[in-house]
Amino acid sequence: MVVSTIRQPETLAEAKDTVRRQEAELQDRRWQITELRRELEDTNRGLIALYTELEDARHAEARLAAIVTSSDDAIISMTSQQVIQTWNSGAQRLLGHTAAQIVGKPAEVLFPEESRELFEDTLEQIQSGLHAEPYDTRWRRSDGALVDVAVTVSAMRDGDGALIGYSTLGRDITHRLAVQAALAAARADREVVADRERIARDLHDMVIQRVFGAGLTLQGVVAMVTQPKAKDRIGAAIAELDLTIQELRNAIFELHRPQEATSLRSQILELTGTAQRGLGFTPTVNFDGPVDAAVPDDTADHVLAVLREALSNITRHANASAVEVSLHAGTELRLLVSDNGRGLGQAAHTSGLANLRRRAHDLGGTFEVTSRPGTGTRLHWRIPLRRA
Ligand SMILES: Nc1ncnc2c1ncn2[C@@H]1O[C@H](COP(=O)(O)OP(=O)(O)OP(=O)(O)O)[C@@H](O)[C@H]1O
Ligand SMILES: [Mg+2]
């Protein structure tokens, strides 16, 4: 800063000159100050804008994180080397692993053989810059069970467009598949009903009319016959034809009646569907083997009774958020019902469970309950199955 020293003016002219110079200097400083202030204000505005931008970005990020966290779907991100990087609670619900258990592991732990191939194909498509279509497959849960999922994989790229990983979305489609199966079964049923209607119509319009016609002809003949023995025999034949017509009518009535027998598979799906109301979520259901063909009706009734009790126990005692039901039909019939609820604890009495054990023993099988506090309960009911 320039500091001017004030001297005694020698002349008036000199004094005026000094004053003018000082005024000019002062003006100059005012200018500098105004300039500085403007610069300061500009900087300030810049800072505020930057702050606002940062805040917006922070909010956007928080919103995104909330969407991922609260999503019902499994949202999993992985590096380009297929190492799992993030794992939301939807993924935990669907597949069992917690984020702490799975982050850092190779993604292939989630895939059974056929699913791994589909995943690799999808990654190849993405790597060659194509859009990958969603696909249905099965993933492996932490307890080893397979769950049906619809999978969408997309590329994660950095600012320069380079591939840095994959984001994978998995949606539980157990319920959708169950509905599709029920629909297919309903369609098949409708075809059977249409077939029965057609057969009933043919019987009525053609077979009965012909038998009836034959009866009329015989009645005409009987009037012409004089021999009593022949008369009797023709009369008996006419009575026989009447009886046949009556039987045909009964058969037609039976054909028109709706079929009552429903498959074990659809009865199990119906049971789990009903249990959903009490549980607040849909149990996962897996079938393995010729469940409908290999299980006789009376055994199917036992299976349904066991499942009914197991689901009722979970609804009333378990406080679970996931239930898995699997039915395997092979040389033995295995029903597995597991929940992730509070576990059995020190159950003071057993009645429903004791019945399940008795049913298994009566059929030459076994019944096991395994349970650890906090990790849920697993019922394993198995009986030998005679091959049809
Ligand atoms: N899935 C489960 N989760 C947690 N606790 C369970 C579960 N299943 C059974 N329990 C506990 O085990 C006890 C015995 O079950 P059990 O089915 O034998 O009897 P209940 O359900 O109490 O009575 P009932 O079956 O006669 O209605 C229950 O009272 C409950 O405390
Ligand atoms: Mg019970």
314 lines ligand 1 (CB under 6 A): yes
DSSP 381: E
3-state SS track over 232-283: HHHHHHHHHHHHHHHHHHHHHHHHHCCCCCCCHHHHHHHHHHHHHHHHCCCC
Q: Is the pLDDT of residue 387 over 60?
A: no
Report the separation in Å between the CA atom of 367 and the middle of ligand 2, taken as the mean of its atom positions.
Answer: 15
315 lines ligand 1 (CB under 6 A): no
Q: pLDDT tens across 186-198, in order?
A: 888 788 888 888 8
% the chain with pLDDT above 90: 55
Alpha carbon nearest to ligand 1 atom 12, residue: 347
Q: Mean pLDDT throughout 86-94?
A: 94
Ligand nearest to the CA of 353: 1
358 lines ligand 1 (CB under 6 A): no
Alpha carbon nearest to ligand 1 atom 17, residue: 352
pLDDT given at position 379: 96
Whether the CB-CB separation of 303 and 327 falls below 8 Å is answered with yes
* Single pTM value for the model: 0.44
DSSP 108: G
Burial of 33 (0-12, 13-18, 19+ CB in 10 A): exposed
C-alpha span between 91 and 373 (Å, rounded): 23
313 lines ligand 1 (CB under 6 A): yes
C-alpha span between 276 and 311 (Å, rounded): 9
Report the separation in Å between the CA atom of 354 and the middle of ligand 2, taken as the mean of its atom positions.
Answer: 9
The segment with the largest mean pLDDT, out of 177-186, 343-352, 363-372, is 363-372
Q: pLDDT tens across 110-135, in order?
A: 999 888 999 999 999 999 988 899 99
pLDDT given at position 388: 41
Q: How far apart are the first and last CA of the chain?
A: 108
DSSP-H helix ranges across the chain = 12-70, 89-95, 99-102, 113-127, 174-202, 209-224, 228-256, 264-279, 291-294, 297-313, 352-362
The segment with the largest mean pLDDT, out of 7-16, 67-76, 345-354, is 67-76
pLDDT given at position 257: 67
Burial of 208 (0-12, 13-18, 19+ CB in 10 A): middle
Alpha carbon nearest to ligand 1 atom 31, residue: 347
341 lines ligand 1 (CB under 6 A): yes
| Two tokens, residue 253 | 């009535």
352 lines ligand 1 (CB under 6 A): yes
Kindly state the helix (H) or strand (E) to which residue 334 belongs, with its residue range: strand 332-339
Report the separation in Å between the CA atom of 143 and the middle of ligand 1, taken as the mean of its atom positions.
Answer: 23
Q: pLDDT tens across 283-295, in order?
A: 999 888 888 888 8
Q: pLDDT tens across 35-57, in order?
A: 999 999 998 999 989 998 999 88
